[in-house]
């Protein structure tokens, strides 16, 4: 696996392809980074994505160069509220963090010629991992809730040892008749 490889769910990959089509007329560092992400991606089903990968709507802690750590939620696009909480994929930093694993870093250049080194320190919350935890918890409680309302008891028929076991009914036909209904 290449060092600059990113990991995306099938849904996240489709979303990046849609962004690539939507912003086909744009140029610059963001589009080049988007192409780089699409070119170096490993696509996994959402159940197979490790919990330390930054996916859409993940809350991540990252550091730019040697600055202070910052925490944001990776979002699809710019939103009006809450200010300062979201980091959209339409921004260079949001796209750079998207698909990285904890401890993985990426260097990007902005449109002014400055290079930033972005390190994904930690994935604090990942929707796919949270869903897997919820499903595991529900499976743990499921058997108790699915207990049968009745029990099957062996030897429920009163058959004496001398009677024919192949014909347990009184007429010997093997058919319980209408009274069984």
Q: What is the pLDDT of residues 20-48, one digit of tens each?
A: 888 777 778 888 899 999 999 999 999 99
Return d(Cα 180, Cα 61) in angstroms, integer.
Answer: 67
Per the structure block, which two tokens stand in for 176?
A: 């319980």
Full domain range(s) for residue 38? 6-129
Instruction: Look at residue 124 and tell me if it is in a domain.
Output: yes
Instruction: Look at residue 158 and tell me if it is in a domain.
Output: no
Quote the distance between the C-alpha of residue 47 and its chain's center. Answer: 5
Residue 82 carries which DSSP code? S
Q: What is the CA radius of gyration of the chain?
A: 29
Q: What is the pLDDT of residues 76-91, one digit of tens each?
A: 876 666 677 899 998 8
- Its pTM stands at 0.71
The SS3 call for residue 31 is helix
Instruction: Look at residue 179 and tell me if it is in a domain.
Output: no
What pLDDT does residue 147 have? 55
Helix (H) or strand (E) holding 120: strand 115-125
Per the structure block, which two tokens stand in for 57?
A: 């709507």
Q: How many domains does one find in the chain?
A: 1
Q: Is the pLDDT of residue 124 over 90?
A: yes
Q: Is the pLDDT of residue 2 over 50?
A: no
More confident residue, 75 or 168: 75
Instruction: Look at residue 148 and tell me if it is in a domain.
Output: no
Instruction: Look at residue 160 and tell me if it is in a domain.
Output: no
Residue 125, CA distances (Å) to 60, 102, 104, 129 in order = 7, 12, 17, 8
Q: What is the CATH number of the domain that holds 57?
A: 3.10.50.30
| Inter-residue contact 101 to 49 (CB < 8 Å) | no
| Inter-residue contact 89 to 95 (CB < 8 Å) | yes
Instruction: Look at residue 85 and tell me if it is in a domain.
Output: yes
Instruction: Look at residue 136 and tell me if it is in a domain.
Output: no
What pLDDT does residue 153 have? 65
Return d(Cα 99, Cα 104) in angstroms, integer.
Answer: 10
pLDDT band at 98 (very low <50, low <70, confident <90, very high): very high
Q: Is the pLDDT of residue 55 over 70?
A: yes
Mean pLDDT of 163-178: 58
pLDDT band at 141 (very low <50, low <70, confident <90, very high): low
Crossing angle of the two packed helices 29-39 and 10-22, in degrees rounded to 10: 140
Return d(Cα 118, Cα 105) in angstroms, integer.
Answer: 5
| Inter-residue contact 89 to 145 (CB < 8 Å) | no
Instruction: Look at residue 123 and tell me if it is in a domain.
Output: yes
| Inter-residue contact 118 to 64 (CB < 8 Å) | yes
């Amino acid at each position: 696996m290449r060092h600059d490889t990113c990991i995306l769910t099938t849904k996240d990959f489709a979303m990046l392809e849609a962004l690539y089509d939507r912003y086909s007329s744009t140029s610059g560092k963001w589009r080049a980074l988007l192409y780089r992400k699409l070119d170096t991606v490993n696509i996994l089903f959402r159940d197979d994505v490790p919990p330390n990968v930054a996916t859409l709507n993940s809350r991540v802690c990252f550091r730019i160069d040697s600055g202070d750590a910052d925490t944001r939620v990776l979002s699809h696009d710019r939103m009006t509220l809450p200010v300062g909480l979201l980091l959209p994929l339409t921004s260079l930093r949001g796209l750079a963090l998207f698909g990285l694993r904890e401890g993985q870093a990426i260097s990007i250049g902005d449109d002014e010629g400055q290079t930033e080194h972005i390190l994904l320190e930690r994935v604090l919350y990942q929707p796919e991992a949270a869903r897997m935890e919820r499903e595991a918890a529900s499976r743990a409680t499921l058997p108790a809730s699915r207990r049968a309302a009745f029990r099957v008891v062996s030897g429920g028929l009163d058959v004496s040892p001398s009677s024919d076991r192949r014909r347990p009914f009184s007429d010997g036909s093997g058919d319980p008749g209408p009274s069984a209904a």
